[in-house]
A and B are shown apart, each in its own frame.
Chain A
Amino acid sequence: MNTSSPAALADRESITEPANPLGLDGIEFIEYATSKPQALGQVLEMMGFRPVARHRSREVLLYRQGAIHVIVNAHAPALPEGTPTDGKPVIAAVALRVRDAAAAYRRALDRGAWAVPSRVEVMELNIPAIHGVGTSRIYFVDRYDQFSIYDVDFVPIPGVDPRPPAIAGLHFFGVVQYIGNDRADDWTEFYRELFGFTELPAEQRFGILPKGRILQSPCPPATRFYVQLIEPEAGVLDVEDDEALQRIGLGTADVLATMAELGKRGVEFVESRGVHTEDRGALTRSWLGGVSFELVHDRRG
């Protein structure tokens, strides 16, 4: 081995890797796939989202509140294999804001990510994507500052406020991912190697659901988000393959005020022995067989 070269010397401590190798800068959008888009739309509207634009060529709607974008994809050919036919929505994709989407995509593939073949129509954006957990995808988006990807692929819905404000300053806080038994190390390595996530110490937890392992994105503080990995309950067998993005966490500076606001719109929250509301956080009931949202206390917003 060439131990005398400068490269080998630099490898002695792992300090060569930049802390945020992709220039990760938050979540651009979360995409749900469902065969019943109206039903999911009602849930999203109850949560404060507004439909603001339609996709040019597919049955896809863009919902927005504040800086949070949610895409509802009901375009049958585009739905991932295994999308439930009963209309139960699944989180099909997370789009990450990065400095350079092409570079981020190439870097991920070079390190062992699986490419998702793109299926763009004429004049649509080719947004590079890799496979994430289960059937989900991870997109890389670098056009979010000067102009947005929605300007190209979407047509605004007439007469609708294109920028509806967020309820009580809601913003993306993170994503909860269910994983198989003994899979926390695998997924920690996945997010670390491909995106530069770091694991939080066990004593650092947010909200009211402290289970599992929390990974922190390397984004700047203003756009930082988290991935929470949750293994099955001890003693539950034969669920190893059930891995998926389970729910979105939304941050708010005042959980109780946000709950009151959402309560007026018809949102109910879970109260049980294991889960109950407090100023640290709250969990909505689940709709349509599995869509729920978690509120997490977070001073941003």
Chain B
Amino acid sequence: MSHDSGNINDFGMDTISLAGPLEAKLQAVREAGFSQIMLAARDLAGHPGGVDAAVAAVRASGLRVTGFQVLRDFEGLSGHLHDYKIDIAKSMLSLCHQLGCRVLLICSSTSVHATGDSQALVKDLRKLAMLAIPMNIRIAYEALSWGRTVNEFPQAWELICEADMPNLGLGFDSFHMFATKTPLAELDLLDPRKIFLVQLADFMWTEIKSVEERIATARHFRVFPGEGVHSEALAALVMKLHGLGYRGDYSFEVFNDDYQQMPLATVAERARRSALWLGEDVLRRSVPLPNQIRLKQARGYAR
């Protein structure tokens, strides 16, 4: 069967799972049959040919950019720290815009310099969303499980609702939900139209005992969905999101030191197996979606 036979169009890889230069990552992801990729700012900033060359490579790859990451420790600062972070946010937004990417990921602040006052956090999130409006960018706010004030998605959701901006929504990462053992039922709170990105990852142990271990696991020991010990929980999560009406993208947010020293094609193949498992076994999409059939036929006629 060709790669195109799988129904994995709403799943994508993330450049952070792969070693090597941007072009090699793009090619590996494409050849594994994916149609989208999540990019990090350093993919552009660190490109030897500069940002323009990186943007050109992404466009030439034909891959859609799922989202752009990541703005850190943004909300809750004041004075010159706030001004500094606004500058950083503007740079991130500009890069995101150059890529033609519609989603900027921001994760909840870990900074000890940030206030926990929810009104201040809401004000900053509103300001960030406003900065993003002229560029047609949506802000996906994610609860990092070691965030200082916001570390579970219901807290992030509460701020998003209070901020009430059309382009501010939730970035949801399964790792953090599992790490904090947030009950699945909490998802019922969410409005699926305001979930702007879902990131999925598994890991190899059932229990995370400390915050330090949580950070280390998140940054070095994640695996693709289906490869770890939380397969059932991931399947339940994806089914739950689907049942809520979520029809957006799923991106594999897999930080893994071993994958960083494996051939790109091997890692991408693992991601592909994961996507097929989720798409076909979990969501049971054994045939292409009707819309995709139509598009493929149209393309066929054009040739």
Q: B251-292 toward A: CB 8 Å interface, digit per residue (1/0)?
A: 000000000000000000000000000000000000000000
Across the interface, which residues of B come within 8 angstroms of A112, CB to CB?
126-131, 133
Interface size class of A (residues with CB under 8 A): 20 to 34
* Interface SS majority for chain A: loop
- Per the bound structure, the CA–CA distance linking A167 and B25 in Å amounts to 63
Residue ID in chain B nearest A112 by CB atoms? B130
A111-B136 contact in complex given A185-B166, A189-B165, C-beta closer than 8 Å: no
- Per the bound structure, the CA–CA distance linking A188 and B167 in Å amounts to 11
Residue ID in chain B nearest A194 by CB atoms? B130
Across the interface, which residues of A come within 8 angstroms of B127, CB to CB?
110-112
Q: B147-185 toward A: CB 8 Å interface, digit per residue (1/0)?
A: 000000000000000000111000000000000000000
Q: Smallest CB–CB gap between A6 and chain B, Å?
A: 14
A230-266: which residues lie under 8 A (CB-CB) from chain B? 240-241, 243
Residue ID in chain B nearest A243 by CB atoms? B136
Across the interface, which residues of A come within 8 angstroms of B217, CB to CB?
none
Interface size class of B (residues with CB under 8 A): 10 to 19
Asked if B134 is an interface residue, CB under 8 A from chain A, the answer is: yes
- Per the bound structure, the CA–CA distance linking A112 and B90 in Å amounts to 10
A189-B133 contact in complex given A111-B127, A112-B126, A114-B90, C-beta closer than 8 Å: yes
> Once the chains bind, are B126 and A186 in contact (CB under 8 Å)?
no
Across the interface, which residues of B come within 8 angstroms of A133, CB to CB?
134
Asked if B118 is an interface residue, CB under 8 A from chain A, the answer is: yes
- Per the bound structure, the CA–CA distance linking A243 and B137 in Å amounts to 13
A183-B126 contact in complex given A112-B131, A114-B90, A114-B131, C-beta closer than 8 Å: no
Across the interface, which residues of A come within 8 angstroms of B128, CB to CB?
112
- Per the bound structure, the CA–CA distance linking A250 and B86 in Å amounts to 39
A93-124: which residues lie under 8 A (CB-CB) from chain B? 110-114
Q: A153-193 toward B: CB 8 Å interface, digit per residue (1/0)?
A: 00000000000000000000000000010010111111001
Chain A interfacial positions (CB closer than 8 Å to B): 1, 110-114, 131-133, 180, 183, 185-190, 193-194, 240-241, 243
Knowing that A131-B134, A189-B130 touch, tell me 15 more A-B residue pairs with CB under 8 angstroms. A1-B117, A1-B118, A111-B126, A111-B127, A112-B127, A112-B128, A112-B129, A112-B131, A180-B136, A183-B136, A186-B166, A188-B166, A189-B166, A189-B167, A193-B126
